[in-house]
A and B are shown apart, each in its own frame.
Chain A
Amino acid sequence: MGETQKKKSWWRDTTLITMVSLLAVVSVAAFVLHGVDGLREGGENSLFIIRQAAPALFLGFILAGLLTVLFPPRVVGRWMGDEAGVKGVLIGAAAGVLSPGGPYVMYPIAAALMHGGAGIASISAFSVARNIFTANRFLVYELPFLGVPLALAKTLSTLWLIGVGTLLVPVVFRLMPRGAQEAARSRIGGAEQERTE
């Protein structure tokens, strides 16, 4: 996933440029509002955050890497693509929770599953679970930065929404304009039809 990023020159990396510009704006604002003291305080805050988060971040990254050994993304995709019904939905949700990486990993996987014949319910489960709760995001970012009570409370309060989303997205999908629905369906069911024909 980092390969395209590695090849890119730093000045073409829009995310990096955005971050650096944001940092510049915020630093100038801190200097204008509070002078050199503001900059020093900001630096101290940053060091404090880094020191506090580093050990948990380190462990979180180790865990994320090990999880890809236990659940290789390609194998999970195959399970979900081949399975239908409740099992496919459950595997979809589990894949969403366990899949690491940013949108540049998630959406290509979801699109590949769609083209590979996974049902709308499995895709919904994958997508909704991926958005609501990701093991990687929870362990690497939420626990270290937000602390156990807030990270856990937010997760416990929202986890059930994965079920709600998985049930409702296909229902709403059926209410979409016929043309758009058929366009998506031909993608979703395409591979399945080819196999049965």
Chain B
Amino acid sequence: MTLYLLAGLVGLTLFLVFRKDGLAGMRYGVETSALLLRSVARMLVLGMVLAGMTQVILPQEVITRWIGDESGFTGILIGAAVGMFIPGGPYVVIPLAASIFLAGAGVGPVAALITAWNTIPFTRTVMWELPFLGGAFTTSRMLVNLPFPIVAGILTPPVYRLLV
């Protein structure tokens, strides 16, 4: 399913790029892809190995008890807190979130974790946003985004149930 969707999108985009810039555009696009891939390939493989290894040591009962499907609002809060303080790029966090999900975490806490890492990440905010965009903007954005992981944790499970 994922593959068909992606392949369809790649086909459509290839067509649009060809119509816009011809073969040269297609070559430029694929070269950019290769550069993107090369810049993260090492971390990507490390991230996947880390996720695979973490699965072995993740205590399944603890995960199910604290952030399982039955964990309710507490589980969402724990997921959001973990997501806020988890460092690293998508090549680490998304495979780890998938491992936690496979180990028995609920849809709500996993959605809260990923959303917190996306919207209120501690390290990225301090390291990047504050120096580049300044205190007034960073504080305003953080304050507004603070409830977003909770919203994601509450709304995602019902939508998920509609989709599976």
Contact = CB atoms under 8 A, between A and B. Distances in A.
A81 B70 CA distance: 47
Interface in B141-164: 141, 143-145, 148, 151-152, 155-157, 159-160, 162-164
Interface string A56-86: 1101111111111110000000000000000
Contacts of B5: 143, 148
Nearest to B1: A148
Interface string B121-156: 000100111001111110111011100100110011
B43 A15 contact: yes
Q: Is the interface of A mostly helix, strand, loop or mixed?
A: helix
Contacts of A102: 89
Q: Is the interface of B mostly helix, strand, loop or mixed?
A: helix
A18 interface: yes
Contacts of B53: 23, 26-27, 30, 42-43, 45-46
Contact of B141 (A5, A26, A124, A142): A124
Contacts of B10: 59, 62-63, 66
B119 A131 contact: yes
B62 interface: no
B110 A50 contact: no
Nearest to A146: B98
Contacts of A152: 159, 163
13 contacts: A2-B38, A19-B92, A43-B53, A45-B55, A48-B52, A50-B45, A61-B37, A65-B36, A127-B129, A127-B141, A146-B110, A153-B163, A183-B135
Interface of A: 1-2, 5, 15-16, 18-20, 22-23, 26-27, 29-30, 33-34, 38-39, 41-50, 53, 55-57, 59-70, 100-104, 106-108, 110-111, 114, 120, 123-124, 127-128, 131-132, 137, 139-150, 152-154, 156-158, 161, 164-165, 168-170, 172-173, 175-177, 180-181, 183-184, 187
Interface of B: 1-3, 5-7, 9-10, 13-14, 16-17, 20-21, 25-26, 28-39, 42-57, 87-92, 94-95, 97-98, 101, 107, 110-111, 114-115, 118-119, 124, 127-129, 132-137, 139-141, 143-145, 148, 151-152, 155-157, 159-160, 162-164
